[in-house]
A and B are shown apart, each in its own frame.
Chain A
Amino acid sequence: GQQLNQSPQSMFIQEGEDVSMNCTSSSIFNTWLWYKQDPGEGPVLLIALYKAGELTSNGRLTAQFGITRKDSFLNISASIPSDVGIYFCAGWGSQGNLIFGKGTKLSVKP
């Protein structure tokens, strides 16, 4: 079935550093979504991308929809402690269901 491969699996960074994570697939996705999950909470949508090549920002977060429609990346600039959590990419599968990557766990050292 369709899969999303997310990397890295985890990151340990210093407060103030920039972060980059990405998501790839062997199949084409027409929408890419990025979610963040805080401990003990459900995922929250950060950014949605609907067009190949699209670059969208949400505060310190920037995400891009790859030209091939098989990848996407998420950047976080000037990280702060509250950026800690698990970041998931997701895309709509061919059967109409949302498919999630395995997540990137971000830890920020003050």
Chain B
Amino acid sequence: DSGVTQTPKHLITATGQRVTLRCSPRSGDLSVYWYQQSLDQGLQFLIQYYNGEERAKGNILERFSAQQFPDLHSELNLSSLELGDSALYFCASSVSQGRGETQYFGPGTRLLVL
């Protein structure tokens, strides 16, 4: 158990819908990272938040957005969903914002868009 929690574990929805994925980092960790894992693209970094502020952005679509709240939990919002958005979405956390820090991954949310 990494100490990172994600809800829900599974999500099935239809194209065009909007969903929210939630992540609680390990106690004391200030950075939260979101990743998408699909069969053809592997693990892709989406976005990082540090202490409530956006820190780095990766391959995140404009239809996706995220935020980190004062209690440090984070939400990833996916809207106008398409079939290709079906994937595993992971959240990870680390103590600070620097490189070289160990990132601890949550168990993931499996999203299926029908």
Contacts and interface: CB of A to CB of B under 8 A. Distances in A.
A50 B45 contact: no
A105 to B, nearest CB: 11
Given A31-B99, A42-B92, A92-B99, A98 B45 contact: yes
Contacts of B55: 96
* Residues of B in contact with A, size category: 20 to 34
A102 B108 CA distance: 18
Which residue, A95, A97, A100, has most C-beta atoms of chain B within 10 A?
A: A97
B25 interface: no
Contact of B48 (A40, A41, A97, A102): A97
A90 B42 CA distance: 12
A44 B2 contact: yes
Interface string A69-110: 000000000000000000010101001111111110000000
A69 B16 CA distance: 44
Contact of B107 (A42, A99, A103): A42
B105 A43 contact: yes
B103 A45 contact: yes
B97 to A, nearest CB: 8
Contact of A102 (B42, B99, B106): B42
Contacts of B104: 45
B107 A40 contact: yes
A50 B100 contact: yes
A48 interface: yes
B8 interface: no
Given A42-B2, A90-B43, 7 more contacts: A31-B100, A41-B107, A42-B108, A45-B103, A96-B48, A96-B56, A98-B45
